[in-house]
């Protein structure tokens, strides 16, 4: 039908998105207003750049690491990610690298 809006992003076949956050924080200031997405089947963590209500760019932040179960933003803007492995689960904390903060 003509009144149906098309999706902003089509991810076919599905990577099995498990969790996402609309990032707002001081830890990664260049990522503000971006979407950070964790995937189960694709086992990737991606950043989606949003401009004018459109996804203009995607970047794979972590690839083939594990099944991403949950993503949360910490009080200082760091990202906490819950990973699932065949042997169990663990939480990792993502912070900006020193080289990115230097320049």
pLDDT tens readout for residues 27-57: 999 999 999 999 999 899 999 999 998 899 9
The CA distances from residue 26 to 8, 13, 30, 34, 65, in Å, are 27, 34, 9, 13, 25
Task: Tell whether 12 is covered by a domain.
Answer: no
Instruction: Kindly state the percentage of the chain with pLDDT values over 70.
Output: 93
Task: Tell whether 49 is covered by a domain.
Answer: yes
Neighbours of 11 (CB within 10 A): 14
Task: Tell whether 56 is covered by a domain.
Answer: yes
Domain carrying residue 78: 17-102
Task: Tell whether 94 is covered by a domain.
Answer: yes
Query: In the chain, where does DSSP find H-type helix?
Result: 98-102
Query: Total domain count for the chain?
Result: 1
**Res. 99 pLDDT band, cuts 50 70 90:** low
Q: Enumerate the β-bridge partners of residue 48.
A: 35, 58
* Separation of alpha carbons 47 and 56, rounded Å: 11
Both tokens of 84, joined, read: 């699932």
Reported residue count of the chain is 103
Task: Tell whether 6 is covered by a domain.
Answer: no
Task: Tell whether 7 is covered by a domain.
Answer: no
């Amino acid at each position: 039908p003509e009144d149906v809006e098309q999706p902003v992003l089509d991810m076919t076949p599905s990577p099995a998105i498990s969790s996402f956050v609309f990032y707002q924080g001081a830890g990664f200031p260049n990522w503000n207003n971006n979407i950070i997405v964790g995937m189960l089947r694709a086992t990737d963590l991606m950043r989606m750049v949003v401009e004018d209500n459109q996804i203009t760019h995607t970047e794979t932040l972590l690839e083939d690491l594990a099944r991403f179960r949950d993503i949360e933003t910490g009080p200082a803007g760091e990202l906490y990610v819950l990973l699932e492995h065949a042997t169990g689960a663990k939480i990792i904390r993502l912070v900006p690298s020193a080289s990115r903060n230097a320049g």
